[in-house]
Structure formats: structure tokens, C-alpha cells
Amino acid sequence: MINVDRALRSSIRTGKVVLGSNRTIKAGLNGQAILIIFAADCPNEVREQLDSMDTPFYSYQGMGLDLGSACGKPFSVASLAIIEPGDSEIMALLREIRGVEA
């Protein structure tokens, strides 16, 4: 089983990740995002927009403050988009959660 927090930190350090609902939605609509992650307390209107995209998504089990902390940030993060995973194993979430090849 993948350690999501460690994979997120690695992805932020070695890949390309955008934080925040507006930037995540924009990355999803532009086709840049390869994986979207959102917190349990992500606002419903944001989650509905993210759910309607073709981009795979993962529902983080913690709240926004927990997701922010997992990203090494001192603030709440409702959603984020992985643009490039870098050296991270974050894309293994797709196989683990949905059985999809990453």
C-alpha cells in the first residue's frame, strides 16, 4: 500500500503539482492534470466540477489542513493536481484505488 503523504511530498519536490481549487480546475480543464486529489472537506461545487472531468481523481481521507500538511504547506489545501509525478510513486494510487494502469 502506498504512503500517500510521502508520495505527495516527493511529487511536490521532484515533479510539478498545482495547489488550490482554481488552479486544479484550470489544470483539469486544460488537460494538464494527470491526477487530481481533493480533501474530504473540499467544497461541493469544486468537487462537482472535478468529478465531471475526464481526469482520474483520488479522495484524500483527511481534511484540507491535513492535505496541506501532507504537501508540506502551513495552510489548507482543498484540492491539487499532479501535472508531472517526478520521482514519486503517486501514480500508483490509480492502480491501487481503481485498478487502472498508470
Q: What is the CATH number of the domain that holds 21?
A: 3.30.1330.30
Look at residue 49 in the predicted model and tell me its pLDDT.
94
Please tell me the pTM assigned to this model.
Answer: 0.89
Look up the domain containing 54 and give its range.
4-96
* Mean pLDDT score across all residues of the chain: 91
Q: Quick one: cell of 98?
A: 481503481
Look at residue 79 in the predicted model and tell me its pLDDT.
97
Three-state SS for 80? Answer: strand
The arithmetic mean of pLDDT across residues 77-86, rounded, is 96
* Alpha carbons 99 and 84: distance in angstroms, whole number: 20
| AA identity, residue 29 | L
76 vs 30, 62, 65, 87, CA distance in Å? Answer: 24, 11, 4, 24
DSSP 31: T
DSSP 18: E
Look at residue 98 in the predicted model and tell me its pLDDT.
60
Count: domains in the chain: 1
The arithmetic mean of pLDDT across residues 53-73, rounded, is 94
Domain for residue 101, yes or no? no
